[in-house]
Amino acid sequence: MTFAKSNNEPIRETVAASLESDGPSGSFLAAVVQLNSTSDLDANWCQARDLIVEAARRGASLVATPENTNFLGPHDRKVALAEPLDGPTVARFADLARSLRIHLLLGSYNERAATPDRCHNTSVLFDPTGAIRAVYRKLHLFDVDLGARGVRFQESATVEPGTEPIVAKTALGSLGMSICYDLRFAEFYQVLTERGAQILAVPSAFTATTGQAHWEVLIRARAIENQAYVIAPAQTGRHDDEGLRASHGESMIVDPWGVVLARVGEGPGLALAEIDLQRVERIRREMPVAHHRRCRVMFGFDSR
């Protein structure tokens, strides 16, 4: 199991800074959790719980888990096991957030949908009281056939897409929510940023093939384009899912200048880094990209 920290300063000093923070203008410690989820629900819960507890012990105020945290296995079983928002999976993570007094992002779980043969791929943000602060249902579904590269997947066969971008306002700052394949749609993150996002969450289960080629490039690009922190917890290793046999891993936290502050290597683990929202505001002030965007010229409408 791997543990990493910010490249900038010792964890002990960063924890002290995070405890003194008093809202969005300050700094705090965030953690990304990397998992190797399978179809074993109990094992998945224990793995996630232990790493979340460890992240909180190290002083993290915001902890994020990857896509498919609770289940990554056969698709028909994923649909059959889907739960409503008031089901046991969400309750477990709500209780954990409350007991640890942290903001906790359940990267995604299989939420029951209106159609019986599909579920939602849903991300849930809890505040330190265990209350649900925001719910985001994945908008862009992973339907690909990379042929010789060996990646064939049709997420839309079992997942009902969401309909709305979500930015959650919290005591720590404004969090733009997304999931995995959303990462390839730059305009989606522009919308999140225009709605106030200072931090972008990208819980993922990138395939080993596409992750090796594109994962870090896309994560850093979204951070640079939007001048925002990106928190990207990921799945790693082999899974008993015929469509997603292996995930890339490399969970990371990237700052608004595109610098990788912390990352997890191979295997389950976590990485921690300081989030300084004053740095977001300073970079946006010094290079006001959002105000320079010529949407009327390019698309026929103003961006603001």
Give catalytic residues, as residue numbers: 67, 138, 180
In contact, 261 and 253? CB cutoff 8 Å? yes
Q: Specify the pairing of strand 229-232 against strand 252-254.
A: antiparallel
Residue 281 DSSP one-character state = H
Q: Which tokens hold the place of 144?
A: 């690909």
Please tell me the distance from the alpha carbon of residue 163 to that of residue 177, in angstroms, as a whole number: 13
**Region of residue 249 (left: phi > 0; alpha: psi -120 to 50; beta: else):** left
Edge-to-edge strands, sheet with 269-276: 2-4, 269-276, 27-34, 62-64, 103-112, 119-126, 132-137
Place of tokens 């800074």: 17
* Phi, psi for residue 181 in degrees, rounded to 5: -60, -20
Cα 169 to Cα 87, 173, 187, 268: the distances in Å are 24, 6, 21, 29
CA distance 81 to 38: 13
Residue 30's alpha-carbon distances to 5, 104, 159, 203, 278, in angstroms, are: 10, 10, 29, 14, 15
CA distance 182 to 207: 14
Place of tokens 């090796």: 212
Residue type, 48: A
d(CA 205, CA 215): 10
